[in-house]
Structure 1
Amino acid sequence: MSTFRNPVGPQPAKVYWRRRLIVLLGLLAVILVIVLIVVRPGSAQSAGGDDKPADTAGTAESSSPTPEPIEADGDAPACSPGSVTLTAVTDKGTYAPEETPQLSFSLVNTGTAPCLLPVGSDVQEYVITSGPDTIWSSKHCQSAPQAQEMILQPNEPVSPAPIPWDRTRSDPSTCEAERPLVPGGGASYHLAVTVGEITSDETRQFLLN
């Protein structure tokens, strides 16, 4: 006969049945704990991927409006004459008899921000002197001057295309007449430039042979 149904021992049979019941309940409790650990509430929902928190956050972020780039204002304030340096420029320091001096200038914005400056031929003047004598001026016989504005960036020199000087003496009364050549042979001349209210601090000296 099976000892499971009929426990054998010095104790009454009900004692052995009680012990077996306690062991069985303990085993069931252990199995239940293991099942709860392996299969947690909500794990099936996470495995399905229907309501994952990461997906929700990603959806909210992607729905946010993308900031548009802000374009800088293209306007610039007018240059202060005190913040612009003007330098008279010639392409050479000494010219042979057959060479024509090329006159220009350099503008530098010494400020810290871009500024707007009128630089057209309507506000430009080149003046050549020899001692106290004014030899030539670009304004004496100028025709059809052109207005132009330019934005000067800080500390970036700007120079216009040079203009030629035909080595003659100018005068408003001789614009339609043949003008006399100035002396060469090593004669010294000085170029000064004005752009609007700005005048070159120093003249540019050059020699004509």
Structure 2
Amino acid sequence: MTGQSPRSRRHSPAVYRRRRLALILGIVLIAALVWLLIAQPWRGAADAEPAANPSPSPSVTSPAPTPTATEPTETGNPGDALPEETADAPLEAVACATGAVSVEPLTDKESYAAGESPQISIRLTNTSASPCTINVGTTQQVYTVTSGGDTWWRSTDCQSEPSDMVVTLDAGQVVESATPVTWDRTRSSVDTCDGDRPQAPGGGASYHVQVSIGGITAASTKQIFLY
């Protein structure tokens, strides 16, 4: 037996299992330490702690519309959104002066066949640059029919129940009487309102219609012909 090297002893399987387990545990431990150093999970826990006085985070919704004149502002007064300008107060209308109103006679026709009665109206125009008031009632209207120097008919000779009506004419406004006055082709007088009256000659006879209102007389007459 002298001179021979001793034989190496073979370990049991249990020893090898323990060694492999220790090696695996060491690898796992080293990997866990490396992950802790890189990920630093304790920083996330600190960041998750609420602040002592948190300030509200900005909203991600669309901004509110800017207040307009029809929406209340923060003060609750819609007028705060309007400019500090006021419109000039309208001019107060005064009575129309004689030269401020133009008067014109109107008729429905220029010539009338036998049995047709002329329908007479009046047109008013405010020729001034300001509004004015005028009484356009039947108490102020006068219609006259003449032939040459002879007055044949006047609307006020037998007028019944005259009335007043004051209106405002704006600058440049033109108005006409709503209901015309009818001339029955007779000669009028205050003494013949309920009796027979002479008929005006026809056959192409010429007559002139004149109108006035509130003391303002038309500058010209309207010529008509009766047949």
Q: Tell me whether the two structures share a fold, i.e. TM-score over 0.5.
A: yes
Post-superposition offset of 1:116: 1.0
Aligned-partner Cα distance in 2 for 1:78–1:126:
22
Matched, 1:169 2:187: yes
**1:65 pairs with 77, 100, 104, which one?**
77
Q: Which runs of 5+ in 2 are unaligned?
A: 1-53
Post-superposition offset of 1:149: 1.1
**1:143 pairs with 149, 160, 172, which one?**
160
Question: What is the one-letter code of the residue matched to 1:136?
Answer: W
Aligned-partner Cα distance in 2 for 1:99–1:205:
16
More helix by share: 1
Post-superposition offset of 1:46: 6.9
Aligned-partner Cα distance in 1 for 2:137–2:170:
17
Post-superposition offset of 1:47: 3.0
Aligned-partner Cα distance in 2 for 1:163–1:71:
42
Question: What is the one-letter code of the residue matched to 1:76?
Answer: A
2:13 is aligned to none
Aligned-partner Cα distance in 2 for 1:91–1:62:
64
Deviating more after overlay: 72-81 vs 87-96: 72-81
Aligned-partner Cα distance in 2 for 1:73–1:156:
16
Post-superposition offset of 1:155: 2.1
Equivalent position SS for 2:191: helix
Aligned-partner Cα distance in 2 for 1:61–1:85:
52
1:157 is aligned to 174
Number of residues of Structure 1 aligned to a counterpart in Structure 2:
160
**What TM-score do you get using the length of structure 2 for normalisation?**
0.63
Deviations 1:147-193 (A, max 9, x none): 11111122232111211110000011111111111100000000111
Post-superposition offset of 1:76: 2.4
**1:92 pairs with 105, 109, 117, which one?**
109
Q: Which runs of 5+ in 1 are unaligned?
A: 1-43
**What TM-score do you get using the length of structure 1 for normalisation?**
0.68
Aligned-partner Cα distance in 1 for 2:94–2:126:
12
Query: What is the RMSD of the two structures over their aligned residues, measured on CA atoms?
Result: 2.8
Structure of higher CA gyration radius:
2
Deviating more after overlay: 175-184 vs 149-158: 149-158
Which structure ranks higher in relative contact order (CA pairs < 8 Å, sequence separation ≥ 6)?
1
% identical equivalent positions: 39
1:190 is aligned to 208
